[in-house]
A and B are shown apart, each in its own frame.
Chain A
Amino acid sequence: MSEYQKPLPTPTELTQPFWDGVREEKLLVQKCSGCGTLRHIPKPWCANCLSDDYTWSQLSGKGEVYSYTIMHRAPATSFQTEIPYAVALVELEEGVRMISNLVGVPIEDVKIGMPVKVVYEHVNDEAALFKFAPA
C-alpha cells in the first residue's frame, strides 16, 4: 500500500492497550474496578471514585452521533485533499463519548442522533484507526 501521510496515533504507556485493541478491531475503554464507571480517554485513575484499579472492557461499537462538524478547512496539509469531511462526537451505547470521522455517509446526510457503528481502517502495517459508519 502507498505510504500513509496523515498523522498517526502516538500512544503512551497508558493508551497503548486502546490502540492495540483498535488494531485487533476491538473498541476498549477502561472500566474502574472500584465503582464500575467506564472512561474514555484513558486516565490513571477514576474521576468518580479515585480508584487506581481498572480493567479494559470491550464496547459493542454501536452508538449515535451526539454532535459533529464538517471540516471545510484542513488543519494539516495531509487533509487538504479530504475536505470537506465529517468529524463526530459519538456517544457509544455504554455511555462514553469518542471523537472520530464519519465515513460511508454523504456529509449532507450527517445528523445528530443517527445510529452509527465502529469500523476499522488498517492504515499501514503497524497502525489502525477506528471510525464510525451508519449502522
Chain B
Amino acid sequence: MSDALKKVAIVGVYESAQARRLNRTPEDLYKEIVLGALNDAGLTIKDVDGVVGGNPLLNEGEGRGMPGSVFAEYFGTELRYSGQALTATQAPALGILHAMEAVATGRASTVLVAMAAATPGFGVAGGDSGQSVSGDQWLSPFGLARVGYYGMFAHRHMHEYGTTPEQLARVAVNHRKHALLNPNAIMHDRGPITVSDVLGSRMIYDPLHLLDCSPVNEGGGAIIVTTEERARSLKHPAIRVLGFAECYSAVDIFHLPSITAFDGNGGQSGRDAFAMAGVTPNDIDVAQISDHFSISPIIELEDLGFCKKGEGGAFVESGAVELGGKMPINTNGGYLSHSHAGSPGIFDIIELVRQLRGEAGERQVPNARIGLHHGVGATYISAQTAILARD
C-alpha cells in the first residue's frame, strides 16, 4: 500500500433503487444519492469539500462546465476540489482514485464520488448508432455497433481456447443466482435462469444471446472518501484502497495484438495493483469484475491470474466464482443482473465496501477482508484494478 493511500478511507456508500425506468429526474436522483452516502457516513453536506464524477445537474441547462461550481451552487456549499468527470463504465473506480489522491495530498478533506443515470432509454446494452470511437467511417457503413466487438472477443476466445457457449451462459446464470439474494438487484424478482434459458434466448451479437448481455437501466450510487483521521470517529469501519493500477492499450480493436485480453498482454493493471497492495490473487476474498457481456469476466479472471490464460471458461464452470466457491465474483448480481445503469463501476465499489463491512446480508462472503474490483472497456481498450480492504 502506498504511503499516500494510507491516509485515506472510504467511509460512506449509498445505492438508489435500480430499475428499468425510475420515472424521476436525474437531479432528484442525484440529490438522493449524495445525501444517502453522507448519511451512511454520518457526515453532512457541509463536510464535503470535493466532488468527482458526472453530475446530472450539469446536463440540465448548465451545459458542460465545472462540476464543482454547479455542485456548490445547488448544495449551498463551497468546494476546494472538482475531479474529472468521465462517462465510461470504469469512471467511478477512477473517480475513487482521484478522490483519494485529492484527500491524500490535502487538496480536499471529504470527497464525494457519485453517478446517477435516469435518462430515458432502455433495452439491451449497445443500442448505439454503430460509430467507431475512431470515427464513424470504419464501423457504421458495415452495420457494426461497437458492442459487437464483444462478439468478436468471444469468438476468438472460443477459437483459441475452446471456450463454449455453455461456459459463457454459466456466467449469466451465476450472476442471476447472486441477484436473487440482493433485494436491490433489478433481476431480484425474476427468478433463476439456467444455461438452457440463456442459450435459448434470442441471439444478439453471435455468440452472445440476449441473456449474455446486460440490460440498460436506471439508478445511481455514491461513495464518500475522507481522511484516515476523520474516519476513526465515524460509525463504519474504514475501508482502505491497498492498491490501484491502470492499463491503456488502444482505442479500437484494429490495433490490438490479441483480442483475448483487455488488461494489456499479461494482466498489467492486475499485476501492478497486486504489487502495490502486497497481496496475491489467493488473498482476495470477493471480487467485482465488469460483466457487460458474459465473455468479459472469463477474460478478466484470466488477466487477473485467478486462473491460467484460456481456462476462464472452465474456472467459471467449476463453480469457483459462485458464492460458496473459492473466488466469489459479482455477489450483487453484476451488471448482468443487478444494474447496468450509467457508469456501473460505482456499484462494484459499493458492493465491495458492503462485503468488507459485513453488511451484505444473505449474499455475505464470510469474513471477507480483502476485495478486488476490475473494470474493463472494449472500446477505449483499458483496464483498472482496485484492491480494497477493511481496517
Chain A residues with a Cβ under 8 A of chain B: 6-12, 15, 19, 40-41, 47, 66-76, 79, 82, 84-85, 87, 89, 96-101, 107, 112-113, 129, 131
Q: Which residue of B lies closest to A65 (CB)?
A: B155
Given A72-B203, A73-B124, A131-B142, 6 new contacts (CB under 8 A): A41-B135, A69-B144, A70-B205, A75-B145, A75-B148, A101-B142
Interface pair B205/A41, CB less than 8 Å apart = no
* A102 vs chain B, min Cβ distance (A): 10
B150-174 contact mask (Cβ, 8 Å, vs A): 1 or 0: 1111111001000000000000000
CA distance A112 to B159 in the complex (A): 7
| B203 and A70 form a contact (CB under 8 A) | yes
Pick the contact of B143 from A15, A41, A82, A89 — CB < 8 Å?
A82
**In the complex, what's the smallest C-beta–C-beta distance from B74 to chain A, in angstroms?**
36
Closest 4 CB pairs of A and B: A69-B151, A70-B206, A75-B145, A75-B130
A-B contacts, 15 of them at CB < 8 A, read A7-B136, A9-B136, A47-B255, A67-B156, A69-B148, A69-B208, A71-B143, A73-B145, A75-B144, A87-B148, A89-B253, A89-B254, A96-B254, A98-B254, A112-B159
Interface string of B299-333 (1 = CB under 8 A from A): 00000000000000000000000000000000000
Using Cβ atoms and an 8 Å threshold, which residues of chain B touch A12? Answer: 135, 137
**Assembly CA distance A101 to B143 (angstroms):** 8
Q: Are A84 and B203 in contact (CB under 8 A)?
A: yes
Q: How far is the CA of A104 from the CA of B252 in the complex (A)?
A: 27
From B130, B139, B141, A129 is in contact (CB under 8 Å) with B141
Cβ-closest chain B residue relative to A112: B159
List B contacts of A11 (CB < 8 A). 137
Interface mask (B120-150 → A, CB under 8 Å = 1, otherwise 0): 0000101111100011111111111100111
By the criterion CB–CB under 8 Å, are A68 and B155 in contact? yes
Q: Which residues does chain A contribute within 8 Å of B149, judged by CB atoms? A: 69
Interface: B352 (CB within 8 A): no
- Tell me, rounded to whole Å, the shortest Cβ–Cβ distance linking B132 to chain A: 8
Quick one: closest A residue to B144, CB to CB? A87
Distance (whole angstroms) from the CB of A36 to the closest CB of chain B? 17
Shortest distance from the beta carbon of A21 to any chain B beta carbon, whole Å: 13
Residues of chain A lying within 8 A (CB to CB) of residue B137: 9-12, 15, 19
Whether the Cβ atoms of A68 and B152 lie closer than 8 Å is: yes
Which residues of the other chain, A, contact B259 by a CB distance below 8 angstroms?
Answer: 66-67, 89
Q: Hey, which chain A residues are within 8 Å of B128, CB to CB?
A: 75
When the two chains form their complex, are residues A41 and B156 in contact, meaning their CB atoms are under 8 A apart? no
**Among the listed B134, B204, B255, which residue makes an inter-chain contact with A73, where contact means beta carbons less than 8 Å apart?**
B204
- State in angstroms the CA–CA spacing of A9 and B124 once bound together: 26
- Find chain B residues with CB under 8 A from A76 CB: 129-130, 140, 143
B46 within 8 A of A: no
CA distance A40 to B137 in the complex (A): 13
Q: Please, which residues of chain A bring their CB within 8 A of the CB of B6? A: none
CA A75 – CA B140 in complex, angstroms? 8
User: Which residues in B have their C-beta under 8 angstroms from that of A79?
Assistant: 143
Contact residue among B136, B152, B204 (Cβ-Cβ distance under 8 Å from A10) = B136
A99 near B143: Cβ-Cβ < 8 Å: no
Distance in Å: Cβ of A94 to nearest Cβ of chain B: 14
Q: Which residues of A contact B155 (CB under 8 A)?
A: 67-69, 112
CA distance A68 to B142 in the complex (A): 12
* Residue B235 CB within 8 A of the other chain: no
